[in-house]
Structure 1
Amino acid sequence: MARFLLVHGAAHGAWCWRDTIPALQALGHVARAIDLPGHGADTTPLGQVTLDRYADAVLDALDAPAVVVGHSMGGYPISVAAERAPDRIARLVYLCAYVPWSGLSLAEMRREAPTQPLVPAIRRNDDGVSMHFDPAMAPDLFYHDCTDASVAFALANLCDQPLAPMQTPAPLGNAYASVPRSYIVCEDDRAIPPALQHRMAADFAPEDRHSMNTSHSPFLSDPTALAALLNRIAG
């Protein structure tokens, strides 16, 4: 049995792991998901959300060492959490997620990709501190291999995304480097180009690089296969 903590990506929340949690539980694991500050049921004002507060939320959810899975933007807060408290994290798993490079914010890392599929869908909000994704474009970017019901569920739950966490580099050092880590490339991803995912995973050990033939949202499109892969990684 393993413990899993599941951390969502930009504009998402704990809700996106709805189908993956029971799939992991069916394999005998303990699994839970959290809402990062300003997401889902968390009511932190968007102007007060920072990368540090994201990392605090991850650590606050760890009452025992766990495999911490970060999706997409979630790769940044799980990395900062590992730098702060490596003893509380059994392994980091980056699910089509950003792996911080030295000195680069997530927004800067996104620009390292050969194409920028997300840019046309980004809408800055009038508050000056957040953005959202155009709901008309979100299905093709994030959920093109999901059922209509799952797409409707996701679109009903997408939220505004604070900008500050994505504009902040992640200070990482030896503590972070001591934590085992794995990467799962989503080969049919239309949000983060697979070419960039492969670059970010390039310095992971070969046995810690995995792939799925899914969109950016395998937690909804193929939760059973995702749980099976996480089971193998944890084992």
Structure 2
Amino acid sequence: MADFLLIHGSCHGAWCWRDVLPELQARGHTARAIDLPSHGEDATPYAQVMLHDYAQAIINAIDTPVYLVGHSMAGFPITLAAQLAPEKITRLIYLCAYAAQDGKSLVDMRLEAPRQPLMHAINKTDDGLAFTVDPNKTAEVFYHDCPEGTVDYANARLCPQTIAPQATPITLGPRAASVPRSYIRCDDDRTIPPEYQRTMTQDWPEADVYAMPTGHSPFFADPAGLADILDRIAKG
């Protein structure tokens, strides 16, 4: 069966995959999640973290080739990991994520979207180097369709998100392009507009694009359904 490595998005950590890991394991797969630098239990100061550090942490966590799943902003570091070490990745799987494009930063791509539904919930840190999400608005933007208790569980663990990795343009080439890819769109997403997720994948083969009826956090809203799609992708 397949080996999955799950990468969280902005302000989150490996903790957000809590319900998905056992679902994948129940389907016969190996699955694990890591904290990117300055997230979760990783104590790296956020002011020291760049996009390359995210990608290198992913590469360092891989011994044998994995199905590499990136949620939301993690679309950028998983793509850079594919550029740096394509031999370590069986397939890239973007989960309501930014499908990174050569020469653009995540900020560039976010601004291409027709709407900016997350920005009203964002607060910059006093040093201007990171942002946090207003805990009174996380239910609205991240977890509106998630089970009771999710908001409290997540709010206790969300961390500042360093801005530099998201403002850094990515340089891609044939190495990244050589890695197969799939996309899982979330059609009730209130963070990355679903219509922009469609735009990012408009020239992808139809067989490589999947959809879920959830919001931005399918790992909490429908972990079994997400695991089913990941299982289908791994089985080809």
2:138–2:151 CA contact under 8 A, matched in 1: no
Please give the secondary structure, in 2, of the residue aligned with 1:157: coil
Q: How does 1:28-107 map onto structure 2 within 5 Å? A: 28-107=28-107
Q: How does 1:21-32 map onto structure 2 within 5 Å? A: 21-32=21-32
2:55–2:78 CA contact under 8 A, matched in 1: yes
> Matches of 1:11 and 1:157 in 2, distance apart?
9
> Which letter does structure 2 place at the counterpart of 1:143?
Y
Please give the secondary structure, in 2, of the residue aligned with 1:190: coil
> Matches of 1:53 and 1:30 in 2, distance apart?
25
> Matches of 1:147 and 1:209 in 2, distance apart?
26
Match of 2:205 in 1: 205
Please give the secondary structure, in 2, of the residue aligned with 1:9: coil
> Which letter does structure 1 place at the counterpart of 2:4?
F
How many residues align structurally?
235
Q: Write out the 4+ residue segments of structure 1 that deviate beyond 4 Å after TM superposition.
A: none
Please give the secondary structure, in 2, of the residue aligned with 1:81: helix
Match of 2:3 in 1: 3
Match of 1:182 in 2: 182
> Which letter does structure 2 place at the counterpart of 1:159?
C
- What is the TM-score when the length of structure 2 is the normalising length? 0.98
Q: Give, in angstroms, the shift of residue 26 of structure 1.
A: 0.3
2:103–2:172 CA contact under 8 A, matched in 1: no
Query: What is the percentage of aligned positions where both structures have the same residue?
Result: 55
1:93–1:183 CA contact under 8 A, matched in 2: yes
Please give the secondary structure, in 2, of the residue aligned with 1:111: helix
Higher deviation after alignment, 1-10 or 143-152 = 143-152
- What is the CA deviation profile of residues 167-198 of structure 1, one whole-angstrom value per residue up to 9, with x for unaligned ones? 00111100000000000000000000001101
- What is the TM-score when the length of structure 1 is the normalising length? 0.99
Please give the root-mean-square deviation of Cα atoms over the aligned residues, in Å: 0.7
Q: 5+ residue gaps in structure 1?
A: none
